[in-house]
Structure 1
């Protein structure tokens, strides 16, 4: 009886460890820009080249990435960019075909 209980306990611990490891590595929650960021977007006159820039006006580190929504072409994404308080940085993209439909910033707190 004792060895059966011990093996059940070990099995439960192994299962719990597996479930905990299955959690996503990106524990930070993505959100649209809020009061801690100031983001601007611009599209060139030809409608195909766009730029997004965000400034961290908050008091903690954030990461930001930009999504360039293209008409008939695949959308583009910039890599995540870490910004300390007071820093600004951005991303850019060129959409072929019908050009850029919109630019979206995603932010996550660090």
Structure 2
């Protein structure tokens, strides 16, 4: 009985320690494009290649990342790209199989 209680207490401590980890700072700061960004998305005529471009029309530096959602194929993700005010950048990816389902831009303020 005593060893069972000790095991439960240790398990509870381990679970509590794991559950209390904070989310990474980048996840908390990530947001969809807003008034400080102008983002456009396009898909090729055959539906297989997606392109996303964002321009920073705000007054501070941002970072942008793109996810191209592919039907039954693995999604494609770009790295984070820093954009100073007035700069633009984008990403392009080609999906296999069923083609592009959507293109999503993620923004975080620096």
> If the TM-score is normalised by the length of the shorter chain, which range does it land in?
0.7 to 0.9
Relative to structure 1, the CA distance from residue 69 to residue 35 in structure 2 (aligned partners, 3 Å threshold; closer, same or farther) is same
Partner of 1:57: 57
The Cα RMSD (Å) is 1.4
TM-score when normalising by structure 1: 0.76
For 2:67 and 2:27, locate their aligned partners in 1 and report how far apart those are by CA, in whole Å.
20
Could you list the per-position Cα deviations for residues 15-34 of structure 1 after superposition, in whole angstroms to 9, with x for gaps in the alignment? xxxxxxx7535376000000
Question: Alignment partner of 1:50: what SS?
Answer: strand
Partner of 2:97: 97
Question: Is the counterpart of residue 36 in structure 1 residue 45 in structure 2?
Answer: no
Could you list the per-position Cα deviations for residues 39-70 of structure 1 after superposition, in whole angstroms to 9, with x for gaps in the alignment? 00000001001110000000000000000000
Partner of 1:18: none
Gaps of 5+ in 2: 1-20
From the CA coordinates, give the structure whose radius of gyration is larger: 1
Q: What is the count of residue pairs matched by the alignment?
A: 89
Gaps of 5+ in 1: 1-21
For 1:63 and 1:28, locate their aligned partners in 2 and report how far apart those are by CA, in whole Å.
14
Give the 4+ runs in structure 1 shifted more than 6 A.
Answer: none
TM-score when normalising by structure 2: 0.76
Which moves more between the two structures, 49-58 or 26-35?
Answer: 26-35
2:26·2:108 contact (CA, 8 Å) conserved in 1? no
For 1:76 and 1:108, locate their aligned partners in 2 and report how far apart those are by CA, in whole Å.
19
For 2:59 and 2:28, locate their aligned partners in 1 and report how far apart those are by CA, in whole Å.
17
